[in-house]
Amino acid sequence: MSASTTKMAALRLPPLPTIADIIRTHKLSARKSLSQNFLLNERITDKIVKKAGDLTGSYVLEVGPGPGALTRSIMRQNPKKLILVEKDHRFLPTLNMLQEAFELTGSKIDIIINDILKVQMDALFPKEIAEDWNDKRPRIFIIGNLPFSVSTHLIIKWLKAISEHKGPWSLGRSKMTLTFQKEVAERLVAPEYGVQRCRLSVMAQAWTFPNHQFTIPGRVFVPKPDVDVGVVSFVPLMTPQTKHSFDFFELITRHVFSFRQKYCIRCIETLFPLYCRKEMGETLCKIADIDPTLKPTQLSVSDVDKIATAYEFLLQKHTELQTYDYRASRRLLHDKYLDEVTISDYRD
């Protein structure tokens, strides 16, 4: 038997009931509280997996498999091991069935019933498959049809892990292929001067190369969401576009995009207390060599990085500014306003 024939035999799964039959048999329905939308179209799940890359002999983490439609498409690509993380225990019987079928081919499935936000990802993959960060990527893939309610929070958490080389990224530049609301997908990849350019664009592009692979019409999901869905892949950069820590860079990015339609200097000024805001804002722009009349959406990742470096320099020079918290000052003003209103109401 030739090698190619052996490979094809390994890909041949035992007969399985259709996903639609499984949903009917187990009386499964999407839960709105978990932002569940089932993707049952095999042609589209196969396309998602194809965009993820060559999974043969690899280790794959699937987030939120649900009834297992995307899981089947992954299984057909013959990974060495598939790890399923599913929050909803109702899907365990279905996933157990897929586990038994897949292990007949000589591969392995691990099922973890837990919230992906709580899963410790460091121990999911064997250390021996690690690759040097500046060399080829490890045979690790993260794939998921993410619930809308957690997708943005989750990608920010994983971008931070990428920046710190933790979790799957302690073993190298592991690739992700994930679904988002179409608008979020467009924001992740939006270039400078793009109308969708935002904080999320800069954070994603500072540490990865995000690519909007294709859009899935909402009508193919069950139940049908109000929006279309974008499939985005993320490949970590060998050299990030900033040397600043994730938390510090995110702080700067939040300030830079605090007023999207105003000049960037108005956003930069919020880094400083009122008594020196105008002067320090102008100084920072000069140090960073940034045109103060640009809008935040016109700034590149490099521009934001220069703003962060200039701000760090000013903090070292003016140590009294290190304790300033714009959000705290806003809360104090808000609380003071509420106190004054309460006193006024009481007097009346």
Reported confidence tier of residue 80, pLDDT bands at 50, 70, 90: very high
140-160, pLDDT tens digit by residue? 999 999 888 889 999 999 999
- Count, residues in the chain: 348
Alpha-carbon torsion (109, 110, 113, 116), positive or negative? negative
Residue 227 to residue 219: CA distance in whole angstroms? 9
Residue 208 to residue 143: CA distance in whole angstroms? 16
296-305, pLDDT tens digit by residue? 999 999 999 9
Q: What pLDDT does 242 receive?
A: 98
Q: Nearest-CA neighbor of 249 among 304, 185, 300?
A: 304
Q: What pLDDT does 224 receive?
A: 80
Residue 153 to residue 146: CA distance in whole angstroms? 11
Residue 80 to residue 72: CA distance in whole angstroms? 14
Residue 138 to residue 32: CA distance in whole angstroms? 36
Report which residue type is found at 224: K
CA atoms within 13 A on the CB side of 72: 22
268-323, pLDDT tens digit by residue? 999 999 999 999 999 999 999 999 999 999 999 999 999 999 999 999 999 999 99
Q: Which residues of 198-227 are buried (b: 16+ CB within 10 A; e: fewer)?
A: bbbbbbbbbbbebebbeebebebbbeebee
**Cβ 221 vs Cβ 209: under 8 Å:** no
| Cβ neighbourhood burial of 189 (10 Å; 0-12, 13-18, 19+) | buried
Q: Which residues of 264-280 are buried (b: 16+ CB within 10 A; e: fewer)?
A: bbbbbbbbbeeeebeeb
Q: What pLDDT does 149 receive?
A: 85
193-226, pLDDT tens digit by residue? 999 999 999 999 999 999 999 999 999 887 788 8
Checking phi first, is residue 68 left (phi over 0); if not, alpha (psi -120 to 50) or beta? left
**Between 93 and 327, the higher pLDDT residue:** 93
Secondary structure (DSSP) of 225-259: PSS-EEEEEEEE-SS-S--S-HHHHHHHHHHHTSS
Domains, the chain, ordered by start? 3-236 (3.40.50.150), 246-333 (1.10.8.100)
Q: What's the predicted TM-score (pTM) here?
A: 0.87
**Cβ 152 vs Cβ 211: under 8 Å:** no
